[in-house]
Structure 1
């Protein structure tokens, strides 16, 4: 029975993450034009992109990808000073919050402490560039941003700011991640900005 329970634990836990993200009061449109809670859509895009980019991802990496932004709306950016220091503090608090929520849900679903600790480590981005799976997670985060959120982001900011953000994003990615990014279906305007950023 324990074996049967562990087989179903991953889909059950992903569903529990989704149930938490379904409470997001903010909404977005999915690819079919349906209105979906924003973080639920983001989490599912993370899982789909991970599956396409790294189909052999272990269970802990699948869990980290799905819960990487879990309940993000609960800590709004405007609770912190609107400067670089405030931004970094906000990001630091978010990592702790997402890690703790993912850990709580995993424990409720019967995961051992070792698996929980691994997911916490992945979400916390410890050992980026040294831990291959943390790098995969970072690549997937960057790919999701570039594919689904970059065009809207670019409309709200100056070209200079957008080029700077893309350059920073590019530096975080592995060579394999960068190759995957270049194959995304960008508009000609977006592609031009990306080429300037990485050129």
Structure 2
């Protein structure tokens, strides 16, 4: 087994403990385990030559996400943004520790941590790719549930923010996705 596979397996082992579940094809699965698998599948499909650092970062983007609960942070946008920042720091530290434990160098482990923290987003191509993958996974697997919970105006605003986070390549891939008609219509409205 490769060093990379050992780290990915370690991330999956942690995420198998997620008490939050998602039902897919009638089967209950740990939410963050499934998310990590979606992220890896997206990266492999659209960025097949991704570095090992990026592969680890993509899989670890939500490692042990349930550890920091949204309810432990203030209500409102400021609390939400603080929670998200703390999650990024936590996920990065967890991934770095796993990489070091499995023989990666300090430099390699810190590179993956930097990607997860999304440092220098627009100038670090690997951080940008992680953001693109996260946006594409959202559109493919989580957009429908979110759209069902909120008013159209809010969904359009979320889509516009998502679009701005993506690179030109990510946007082109997003436009090539086959979304259900009601979701595709929301994308058209958001980009109008």
TM range (shorter): over 0.9
Task: Say which of 114, 124, 137 aligns to 1:121.
Answer: 114
> Which shows bigger deviation, 175-184 or 145-154?
175-184
- Equivalent-residue separation in structure 2 for 1:91 and 1:79 (angstroms): 12
1:67 Cα offset (Å) = 0.2
Task: Say which of 16, 26, 32 aligns to 2:20.
Answer: 26
1:27 Cα offset (Å) = 0.6
- Equivalent-residue separation in structure 1 for 2:52 and 2:137 (angstroms): 20
Aligned to 1:47: 40
Query: Which structure 1 residue ranges, 4+ long, deviate > 3 Å from structure 2?
Result: none
2:87 aligned with 1:94:
yes
Structure 2 unaligned segments of length 5 or more: list them.
none
2:131 aligned with 1:132:
no
- Equivalent-residue separation in structure 2 for 1:132 and 1:93 (angstroms): 22
1:76-134 per-position Cα deviation (integer Å, ceiling 9, x unaligned)? 11111120110111011101110111111111111110100100100010111111111
TM-score (norm 1): 0.94
1:174-199 per-position Cα deviation (integer Å, ceiling 9, x unaligned)? 11111111121211110111111111
- Equivalent-residue separation in structure 2 for 1:82 and 1:53 (angstroms): 37
TM-score (norm 2): 0.97
- Equivalent-residue separation in structure 2 for 1:167 and 1:193 (angstroms): 10
Aligned to 2:168: 175
2:65 aligned with 1:66:
no
Root mean square deviation, CA, Å: 1.0
2:141 aligned with 1:151:
no
